[in-house]
Structure 1
Amino acid sequence: MSSLLPEPTTKPPLELKMLINTIDPQSPYQSTAQEILRPLQDTADRVSKQVEEFAKALDKFVVNREPTDASLWEDALVLLDRYSKIAQTRTTTTAANDSDSQAQKVLLESDLWGLVRNLLYCNSPDTVNNAQIAQESRLAGLHRYSSNAELWGAFLDSDVVAQEYECILSWLQDRAADSSPPIHITLKALLEKSDRGDGVWSAGPIYTQTAIKQQKRTRALSQPLDPSTPNLTRSHTRKADRKPLVAQLDPDSRTRESAALQKEDEYYEQAAWRTCWEMLRRGQSAAEIQSWWAERREVWRYAVIRGCGPNTGEMANSPWLRILNLASNAEWSHRCHSLAHNPAIQDVYQKAVYGVLCGDAGASKAATHTIEDHLFAIFNALLIQRYQHYIQAYQHRLGNPGATVYSPQPPATAHIRQYAAKAQSDPATKDEVHTPHKLLELTVVSKDFDTFFLSMGRAASQVAYATDQGSHLMKENEDDVSEIARINAQDQDSVRMVVHLQLLLQALGFLESSYAEHEYEMENNIASYIGWLEREGKFSLLPLYASKLSNERIPRVLGAILINVTDRRERDLQVKLMKQYKIDVSEVAYGIFYLANFNTIQKLRNIEEIPTLPRITVPGATTSTAQLRVRPGLMTGEVSEEDEKAIRSVEWYRYVDAEHWGSAAWSVSILYKTFLMDGNFVALRQLLDRVSLSEMSLSAVGMNLNFADEEPPTDEDEDEDQEMDDDHIRPMSPSRKRKSPLHEHPLTRAGTDRGSLAYKSMVWRQLEQLVAAMDSLDVFQEIADNLEANRKNPTVVRSCKRDMKKALDDVRQTMQPLFDEEFMCRFQDDMEGVLLTALRNHYIPECILAYNSVLYCAGHYVSRVWLVECLELSQVVAQNAMLTNAFVAGGRMQELVRAFALDSRALLEATEQSGTRSKKIKTEKGNSDIWKVTWKQQGPIDLEALD
């Protein structure tokens, strides 16, 4: 899949730019501010680049394959390699002045990706299959002369779990080597107390050795000092506490003689055993260890660490030499175990070293201070235990040639998870677990991914609602969640790691049960990361991660975000990316509408009684405008934020396809019905202007659905005289179009042809026509009010009359659809029928009364012939059953009769106009000289008398 992700940007965050710009350029603090903010900017750039690099890597990972597909596993390992390299890049570019905790956090992330990669390799189908083959063949290939290296290799090949433990142990050793200070720094305090000076240590317990030599000189002995020498315990003692000193300097003399070393030598001995521990802990090679102790003339310590056994070829420098040598010297393991539990040995690091050598994790407990120290002791013990089990099978094979199949021990998963849980509450490690990525580290080594991701998903919801960041993307969760999970859910680097690891493991089939039972909570992790991308303005990455959600979740998550995208180019880009990632754009468009108008939809669904609808007309104020008139400023003003959001939500329907056009028509109709019911005429004008049926349908399906089986009418060419002729009248008549069967509702019709799509748009079109009529009436009224207010200003009057003629033509055109006998008469169900009928019976009379007022006003200010149109309007209403029923049902018939009575009286009071030139009234019926009249102002009209 080709990537459309943008290149990383390096623009500074707006808040940084604003802070810098507020400082006076001449101020000496200008450069200081730059120096302070530059590291923050560098960190932001590195994080931003890392985020985009992760997205690019994920974009290239194709997941539509079975979890058993070998190519999927190969690509997964490649993906993890990329993640690791991206993290390593950030590690190498971490600024020198970044905090140590931040540097450690970045390093741990890099290391964790490598660990996950190696552990997945151990669990790959190929590795598991090879292990099964090895279990049936490798043991049979061994004999009594097989080397320790051959035994070790056969053991690892036959035991996948042992491969995992060896991998984790190696990782822990590398971590200690990379993240711990040098050994001489760790031992600095002890070395100072041992009084050895700087540089290479002096060999052995030199202060005790001096005391022994002094005793030999005093006693004139040429042979070693005997611990049983009379009166030796009186003179050969430490000055500080009078404890007897050892008489000989072999490594176990203190235990054997129950004596002590000089204080300086004891500090040296502690440093030496601490060094042995650190060497094992850091996985140093045999060559490094040997060189270290040879330089200090204590090679015997190297022999202890290596374990008693041959120094075989290819494994000579392996950190596992101490383990594989147990195959040929089991007695060494027993001896180390005895020493580890010997109460005479007080040094914790000496015990810890013996514990590591024999695989006794408990013996190393006192020397383990961090989580990784504990894990090292645990996995070291587990690996030795499994190896010893293999050695037993090998020895059994030597005595029983028929035993050729090896069955590994079951994994110690429960034991490891028990420690992972304990570490979160243990006072010694509780604070460490709270540091970023530590919980994830425990999860990786314990393989408890289901629990971890579920806990993180629940925590993501709680954090979102507690911080009000991302709460629009998920439901609130009230389940118990650990404090550590909530802390990790607030760290964006942790969230990013969680998301990318979860998506990878899901693709490999590791999380099937969790997704089956807790899909929503699991997907909260992805939604949380999407929310962070939204806050960071990385909208081009949203469709990629949204495509990883379930089909039901995608519209809700994208819908909650894209409602706020207003730029047309950005919308186009989002749609392009959604199509690239196989996201149903139509479903997202409906999701945007549904989330933005949820309360509105529920209100219409549960409506029990239609409220009193507002009027668009008010009584006229003067004799010349005694008719009802449109309410001043009916559709002008600012829309509320809620209404703006609602209108914005349906603008996304320009991207739907023909199959989902019915959803668009239904949604837009919902807004029209709601605004009409609430009398929200300002929002209606915005909806009319921004979501017109013709424009939306052209954009979505490539057809203007204002017209079904007919081409759009073309404007006839009219000469200037005809256009300006006040008396040119085109008689009105309702449009007569082919109607569909009355029993079929528009939205239920199948098909994507022009006629079917236009038919589905019928309710939308009719509601739009109703609002368009109101809009044109409002525009005309605004002009009429302006003319009335400036009757004494000829310039304004002339300008207003020109505008009025144009507005009058618009009114007549927009009113024509309202005369259709089936206008707003198609209902999807009884509820819609009640609502549409109520809207029709209220607003149709309102519009006709307002239209009559327009013609009445035009008869005063433009041409007397428009009074004739008033009389024709009365005929149309009388002959149209829908219109008549609307007036009757709305209780407006009395107002209609009074309006037409005013029209008749106005026409009768007009007299013929005198002048040199008289225009002829042009109608389809020829000249009507009888209508050549002039307006004659009369006294006040008695409206009551006309009722």
Structure 2
Amino acid sequence: MAPITRSSVHGRPTDRSQDRFEEPLLPSDEEMADNYEAESSQEDPQSPYQSTAQEILRPLQDTADRVSKQVEEFAKALDKFVANREPTDGSLWEDALVLLDRYSKIAQIRKTITAADDSDSQTQTQTQKVLLESDLWGLIRNLLYCNSPDTLNSAQIAQESRLGGLHRYSGNIELWTAFLDSDVVAQQYECILAWLQDRAADTSPPIQTQLKTLLEKSERGEGVWSAGPVYTQTAIKQQKRTRALSGPLDPSIQNLNRSHARKGDRKSLVAQLDPDSRTRESAVLQEEDEYYEQAAWRTCWEMLRRGQTGAEIQSWWAERREVWRYAVVRGCSPNMGEMANSPWLRILNLASNAEWSERCYSLTRNPAILDVYQKAVYGVLCGEMEVSKSAAKTIDDHLFVIFNALLIQRYQHYIQAYRHKLGNPEAIVYHPQPSAITQIRQYAGKAPSEPTTKDETHLPHKLLELTIVSKDFDTFFVGMGKAAAQVAHATGLGSHLMKDNDDDVSDVARINAQDQDSVRMVVHLQLLLRALGFLESSYTSHEYEMENNIASYIGWLEREGKFSLLPLYGSKLSEQRRPRVLGAILINVTDRRERDLQVKLMKQYHIDISEVAYGIFWLANMDTIKRLRNMTEIPTPPRITVPGATTSTAQLRVRPGLMAGEVSDADDKIIRSVEWYRYVDAENWGSVAWSVTVLYKMFLVEGNFVALRQLLDRASLSEISLAAVGMNLNFADDEPPADDEKGEDEETDDDHIQPISPSRKRKDPMPEHPLVKAGTDRGTLAYKSLVWRQLEQLVAAIDSLDVFQEIADNLEANRMNPAAVRSCKRDMKKALEDVRQVMQPLFDPEFLCRSQDDMEGVLLTALRNHYIPECILAYNSVLYCAGHYVSRVWLVECLELSQLVAQNPTLTDAFVEGGRMKELVRAFALDSRALLEATEQSGSKTKKIKAEKGNSDIWKVSWKQQGPVDLEALD
């Protein structure tokens, strides 16, 4: 990185329109500028609204486009900056300075385009804001260079060597450069002063405009001023003619004050016109000349304030034939070669003209000098701070006065060390004065409350400017973070990204926290300073508040639809904060392609996808998790069955429309939270399994069957596991069983039934819970998914029963329509096979018997004791219905079901514990009666009933039902 160019050596360029950085725009910068211009120049010549609404909305749209473009360019620049290096790494500092150059150039391009549309007061305010941002990035860059390890090391070397190299014939330039090389703090002060002078030159109105009122009162007319106090000069000449004097008018002439006085107040006029005549003679000038004199001294102040070159100042006063004023502001010494046009010539000359500094100091204390600007000029020349402040009107004016005085003090301290060295050659080491940071911070703290600058501090970026020059970044960033939280919760914008706080926060901080340009600057500056090691203490004690600034900016990006930038800034958060912030936003991303893009970007920035996915789940289900943890008593879930509606002896049936309907917004958000688990890795599969089971448990406890249906469809174990770990964990074996489905219209052998799998013996207890078992192989991952799979199987069974019931109800409603009956029967056969398939897992003796702890064990037991009886009773109703509508063979299956329940302790216990045994006995009794009735009236057309265990002719009995039964006729 090239060293910073010092204005102390080369002077300030006359052309104030050129860039502050000497490096030319990179090709990417030129392309960026072209994009800005192209966006701002787009027009629709055929639009009929160009002269009305379009003209009104165009500036707003252009501003929004520029802001959007700037945001993207800042993100690109930040993305290229590698921050994970030690603060002592020289390459880190070089890259940091390049990054700040980039930020400044981005702001300059926006400034250029914005200034072109500077047509109204609102746009002018925006232009000033953009200009200040561009200038601030340049100031930060230069100040950081002064604090870089290379600069500090060079200064340390200079402190030990440069003073020793000076001698009694060393010139002012040599002294000045040795001083700056040896004093890093002085370099910073000089940098800030140069910046303040540049700002004044670029943003202040022309001097003539500022002095318009005084010039009008001085009655000098248009154009170049007339030379000096011409009205007083006329009065003096008149006295000399009246008294026939050939020499100067003597102030001691008797009775001179009677005739030589002002008309208005009769005060004595000066008799001679040297610069200090008024003080020396205790007399005045004519009123017009007084106004001229005020304008002249204010001009001197403005010239110093704007850092004008010696050539500019000399030319100005030469035109007005008052070159002596140029001699005053330069320090009463001859030109200094290459330093002749330096704004620091007045300070350099203090080394060889200490008497001039003392004289200026004496004049600041002279009560006869009443003009504020005259005293302020003397104060600037000698470094007298309090007197100079009397002419300061703005924050920048006050900062100029402060840093000017501090720089002069440090230079005079160096001059003293130099003079001491001349008398003591062994004193070659220079020890700079301590930094006056406390004094600077005192003013920065008072500025927001002082009447003259209070309103100015409310302007965007002004508080940041005070922070930069006072280096009070810790206080500023923490205050902004607290304000960001308060603003977010007061406005509702970004409140989901941070928690509220009630700490005292200044109004200025709140204003800045609401300005998105300020937030953007704060975030990028904070990230840079942290990388350079400046904010360690703040991050240690106030990390959450510091990261609120980043979260606030992320919230703004979310509102602006800049989702592709979220992972970049999310990666700058701590590992604890990152999942919560990104999770609160990504929960609302529903498009699969956008999710894939977010995951790709998060991987690019080394963000743990599993942590973010869990953060999404946690934020969406905090209340659910807390309810489960604090649940002292398991509420009884609602039933899925209702009594049959035909006769008093009818079987139970599934509640109509059990799982139909629209899912609520809240439930939809909950389900979306687990859809993100398709992006996790095998190492974190245990968290996935636990999370999904939490939702199943709560939905089952609440009887939220609509949400259960959505959860089953959108977050099935098969889909999530295939996407996440590349394996279908519904199957613990290497390959899933072969698909043996039949076509929709393919007729099945109604008399041949695949028997229900016999009950398996209860396994021995496992030594550890599935979720804590180590390993990522198929068997281990499937083992971790055990409870998830079983709860999913339970819900799938309920869903299949609901589908069958809907078909049965449709068939019942269309009994008189043969075509509809045939269609419904085909659907019923397929649905029947589905029901039989999904019911098989529920007959496993180990079903819902694996709990992580006692609390989960109680909950799973409650769910098993409630839903297993419900599903079996509903399944029996399905077989009962199929025995009447499809084939009487299914009535035999009802009796097989009764035998299965009797032989399975888990099922039997569920009926006993759930208090449903009476209903079960009644249901099987109805099954037996229906089988007897169906057999009696089967006739010669009845096919032989077949089963795997032999012929079932024993069920053909001769009992006959009283009354006609026509259900079998539909077969």
TM-score interval, smaller chain = over 0.9
Amino acid at match of 1:330: A
Contact 1:306–1:322 (8 Å) recurs in 2: yes
How big is the shift at 1:748? 1.6
How big is the shift at 1:642? 1.2
Are positions 1:326 and 2:346 aligned together?
A: no
2: CA distance, partners of 1:430 / 1:279: 26
1: CA distance, partners of 2:883 / 2:784: 40
Contact 2:33–2:109 (8 Å) recurs in 1: no
Corresponding residue SS for 1:34: helix
Pairs within 5 Å for 1:693-708: 693-708=717-732
How big is the shift at 1:424? 1.2
Pairs within 5 Å for 1:102-117: 102-117=126-141
Are positions 1:602 and 2:626 aligned together?
A: yes
2:221 aligned residue: 197
Change (3 A) 1:222 1:8: closer
Contact 1:821–1:880 (8 Å) recurs in 2: yes
Are positions 1:342 and 2:360 aligned together?
A: no
2: CA distance, partners of 1:448 / 1:377: 20
Change (3 A) 1:738 1:654: farther
1:491 aligned residue: 515
Contact 2:932–2:955 (8 Å) recurs in 1: no
Are positions 1:365 and 2:389 aligned together?
A: yes
Amino acid at match of 2:655: R
How big is the shift at 1:940? 12
2: CA distance, partners of 1:916 / 1:610: 55
Are positions 1:532 and 2:552 aligned together?
A: no
How big is the shift at 1:722? 6.7
* Among candidates 794, 797, 803, match of residue 818 of structure 2: 794
How big is the shift at 1:715? 2.3
2: CA distance, partners of 1:59 / 1:41: 27
* Among candidates 63, 70, 73, match of residue 93 of structure 2: 73
Corresponding residue SS for 2:896: helix
How big is the shift at 1:791? 1.1
1: CA distance, partners of 2:334 / 2:744: 113
Corresponding residue SS for 2:934: coil
1:14 aligned residue: none
1:138 aligned residue: 162
TM-score (norm 1): 0.95
Contact 2:447–2:454 (8 Å) recurs in 1: yes
* Among candidates 234, 237, 243, match of residue 261 of structure 2: 237
2: CA distance, partners of 1:449 / 1:121: 17
2: CA distance, partners of 1:920 / 1:768: 38
1:756 aligned residue: 780
1:460 aligned residue: 484
How big is the shift at 1:339? 0.8
2: CA distance, partners of 1:673 / 1:628: 25
Change (3 A) 1:914 1:386: closer
Are positions 1:657 and 2:677 aligned together?
A: no
Amino acid at match of 2:118: A
Contact 1:156–1:163 (8 Å) recurs in 2: yes
Are positions 1:776 and 2:800 aligned together?
A: yes
1:461-488 Cα shifts (integer Å, max 9, x gaps) = 1111111111111111111111111111
1:507 aligned residue: 531
Are positions 1:438 and 2:462 aligned together?
A: yes
Contact 2:869–2:916 (8 Å) recurs in 1: yes
Contact 1:735–1:817 (8 Å) recurs in 2: no
1:424-447 Cα shifts (integer Å, max 9, x gaps) = 111111111111111000000000
* Among candidates 105, 124, 127, match of residue 85 of structure 1: 105
1: CA distance, partners of 2:844 / 2:869: 14
Pairs within 5 Å for 1:37-436: 37-94=57-114, 95-97=117-119, 98-436=122-460
Amino acid at match of 1:860: H
How big is the shift at 1:740? 7.8
2: CA distance, partners of 1:786 / 1:934: 33
Structure 1 residues not aligned, in runs of 5+: 12-19, 942-947
Corresponding residue SS for 1:909: helix
Change (3 A) 1:939 1:830: farther
2: CA distance, partners of 1:324 / 1:334: 15
Change (3 A) 1:578 1:344: same
1:766 aligned residue: 790
Amino acid at match of 2:287: K
Change (3 A) 1:717 1:303: closer
How big is the shift at 1:30? 6.3
1: CA distance, partners of 2:761 / 2:231: 116
Change (3 A) 1:503 1:718: closer
Amino acid at match of 2:542: H
Corresponding residue SS for 1:77: helix
Amino acid at match of 2:564: S
Contact 2:773–2:784 (8 Å) recurs in 1: yes
1:706-761 Cα shifts (integer Å, max 9, x gaps) = 01124211123769997433333111115869968533211121100000000000
Contact 1:306–1:321 (8 Å) recurs in 2: yes
Change (3 A) 1:662 1:8: farther
How big is the shift at 1:341? 1.5
1: CA distance, partners of 2:276 / 2:698: 92
Amino acid at match of 2:110: R
Contact 1:746–1:760 (8 Å) recurs in 2: yes
Larger deviation, residues 769-778 vs 181-190: 181-190
Change (3 A) 1:424 1:737: farther
Are positions 1:547 and 2:547 aligned together?
A: no
2: CA distance, partners of 1:324 / 1:704: 81
2: CA distance, partners of 1:9 / 1:630: 68
Pairs within 5 Å for 1:511-660: 511-623=535-647, 626-660=650-684
Amino acid at match of 1:798: R
Aligned residue-pair number = 926
1: CA distance, partners of 2:695 / 2:33: 40
1:944 aligned residue: none
Are positions 1:471 and 2:509 aligned together?
A: no
Contact 1:461–1:476 (8 Å) recurs in 2: yes
Contact 1:913–1:932 (8 Å) recurs in 2: no
Contact 1:733–1:876 (8 Å) recurs in 2: no
Contact 1:734–1:816 (8 Å) recurs in 2: no
Change (3 A) 1:555 1:937: farther
Contact 1:624–1:857 (8 Å) recurs in 2: no
Identity of aligned residues (%): 82
Corresponding residue SS for 1:309: coil
* Among candidates 714, 735, 754, match of residue 730 of structure 1: 754
1:882 aligned residue: 906
1:36 aligned residue: 56
Change (3 A) 1:10 1:840: farther
2: CA distance, partners of 1:321 / 1:718: 99
2: CA distance, partners of 1:482 / 1:727: 84
1:745 aligned residue: 769
1:16 aligned residue: none
Contact 1:864–1:934 (8 Å) recurs in 2: no
Contact 1:913–1:934 (8 Å) recurs in 2: no
2: CA distance, partners of 1:766 / 1:650: 17
Contact 1:246–1:259 (8 Å) recurs in 2: yes
Corresponding residue SS for 1:442: helix
2: CA distance, partners of 1:632 / 1:939: 30
